[in-house]
């Protein structure tokens, strides 16, 4: 968790981010790394390292012979989160050759590959019209291909929010269904038509306004050492991980986690985690 002084100049915070990123990804930092990455003078790079050492005295160890700084065994990032997700972001940014501190730090990272599901593509103009309708509170006429119908049909919707759950959805009131629903942007055909102002308030979307806590824990059939490693893997505390989520998004979270009904009946080595509050989510009709 970042706890740095936000009063530091923005450019200096960027240099400290690079400093920590190189300590994490490459295991060392030296004056030239800061100087060359940000096109600053040697004196300024020296001041940065001095200030960083004053603020984080337990993070750096200097090799006097080479002038190279290495992370201390007590190293704890202050300007970065130091998470697996952040490292994934480093790899993505580096592949895109983006001029960002984390991307620059990835220039010497160890060999690593990422394997991800294909992106569900959609026409960017759909996103543009959807965003306009949300911002201005207007109706939107779309041609939508549902998997529950063999052919697409026109729908009149009033979107009020976007959500990304592995795929981009629009949360909207549907005039045809007379209820609030989710619509996949990738299943909208052609260019939506903007209409007049809509009087359906997003406040009426009960499933969007209200939240529920999803509770998961290790499969009870695991051995104690297996339970411990699962707890560590998912960042559980006391054998429990709680995620607060909008009711409308709860089914997507359960799908991403791979939990639901009958978790404990499945092979512990395969299931590994189980949903602990099935009855509560069932009462909200959030389990498929």
Each residue of 218-267: pLDDT tens digit?
A: 999 999 999 999 999 999 999 999 999 999 999 999 999 999 999 999 99
Q: Which of 147, 170, 202 is the C-terminal boundary of a domain?
A: 202
Per the CB < 8 A criterion, the answer to whether 254 and 263 are in contact is: no
Residue 254 lies in a domain: yes
- The reported pLDDT for the residue numbered 94 is 53
Check whether residue 71 and residue 142 sit in a common domain: no
Does the pLDDT value for residue 11 go beyond 70? Answer: yes
Q: Which domain holds residue 59?
A: 10-108
Q: What is the mean predicted confidence (pLDDT) over 181-200?
A: 93
pLDDT greater than 50 at residue 283: yes
Q: Are residues 197 and 239 in the same domain?
A: no
Which of 24-38, 95-109, 126-140, 146-160 is predicted least confidently? 95-109
- Asked if the model's pLDDT at residue 117 lies above 90, the reply is no
pLDDT at 130: 93
> 3-state class of 255 per DSSP?
helix
pLDDT for res 4: 53
Does residue 118 belong to any structural domain of this protein?
no
Can you tell me the distance from the alpha carbon of 213 to that of 284, in angstroms, rounded to the nearest whole number? 12
The single residue listed with the structure tokens 């009958």 is 262
| End-of-domain residue from the set 75, 108, 141 | 108
Given a cut of 70, whether residue 9 has pLDDT beyond it is yes
140 located within any domain: yes
Please tell me whether residues 104 and 40 are part of one structural domain.
yes
| Inter-CA distances, 177 with 172, 198, 203, Å | 11, 16, 18
Looking at the structure, tell me whether residues 167 and 190 fall in a common domain. yes
- 173 to 1, 8, 127, 163: CA distances (angstroms): 38, 45, 17, 15
CATH number of the domain to which 29 belongs: 1.10.10.10
- The pLDDT, as a whole number, for residue 166 is 83
Among 49, 75, 108, identify where a domain stops.
108
Same domain, 180 and 214: no
Q: Same domain for 17 and 55?
A: yes
pLDDT in tens, 13-60: 888 988 988 888 778 898 998 898 888 999 999 999 999 999 998 899
What pLDDT score was predicted for residue 198? 92
115 assigned to some structural domain: no
pLDDT at 208 over 70: yes
CA distance 150 to 147: 7
Within a domain: 114: no
Judge if 17 and 86 occupy the same domain.
yes
Question: Is residue 51 located within the same domain as residue 73?
Answer: yes
pLDDT of 7: 76
Which CATH number belongs to the domain containing residue 192 in this structure? 2.30.30
First-to-final CA distance of the chain: 36
Average pLDDT over residues 127-152: 93
Q: What is the mean pLDDT of the chain?
A: 87
pLDDT at residue 112 above 80?
no
* 96 confidence band (pLDDT: 50, 70, 90): very low
Number of structural domains, the chain? Answer: 3
At residue 97, the pLDDT reads 47
Q: How many CB atoms lie within 10 A of CB 279?
A: 9
């Amino acid at each position: 968790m970042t706890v740095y002084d936000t009063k530091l100049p923005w450019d200096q915070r960027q240099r400290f981010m690079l400093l920590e990123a190189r300590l994490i990804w490459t295991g060392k930092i030296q004056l030239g790394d800061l100087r060359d990455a940000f096109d600053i003078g040697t004196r300024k790079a020296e001041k940065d390292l001095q200030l960083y050492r004053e603020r984080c005295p337990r993070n750096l160890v200097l090799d006097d012979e080479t002038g190279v700084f290495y992370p201390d065994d007590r190293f704890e990032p202050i300007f970065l989160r130091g998470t697996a997700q952040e490292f994934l972001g480093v790899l993505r940014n580096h592949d895109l050759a983006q001029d960002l501190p984390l991307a620059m730090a990835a220039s010497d990272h160890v060999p690593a590959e990422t394997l991800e599901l294909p992106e569900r593509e959609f026409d960017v103009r759909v996103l543009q019209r959807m965003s306009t309708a949300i911002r201005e509170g207007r109706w939107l006429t779309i041609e939508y291909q549902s998997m529950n119908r063999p052919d697409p049909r026109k729908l009149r919707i009033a979107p009020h929010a976007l959500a990304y759950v592995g795929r981009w959805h629009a949360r909207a009131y549907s005039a045809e269904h007379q209820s609030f629903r989710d619509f996949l942007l990738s299943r909208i055909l052609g260019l939506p038509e903007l209409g007049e102002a809509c009087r359906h308030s997003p406040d009426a979307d009960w499933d969007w306004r209200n939240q529920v806590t999803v509770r998961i824990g290790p499969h009870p059939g695991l051995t104690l050492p297996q339970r411990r490693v699962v707890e560590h893997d998912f960042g559980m505390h006391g054998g429990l991980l709680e995620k607060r989520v909008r009711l409308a998004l709860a089914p997507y979270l359960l799908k991403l986690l791979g939990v639901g009904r009958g978790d404990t009946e499945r092979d512990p080595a395969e299931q590994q985690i189980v949903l602990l509050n099935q009855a509560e989510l069932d009462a909200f009709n959030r389990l498929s």
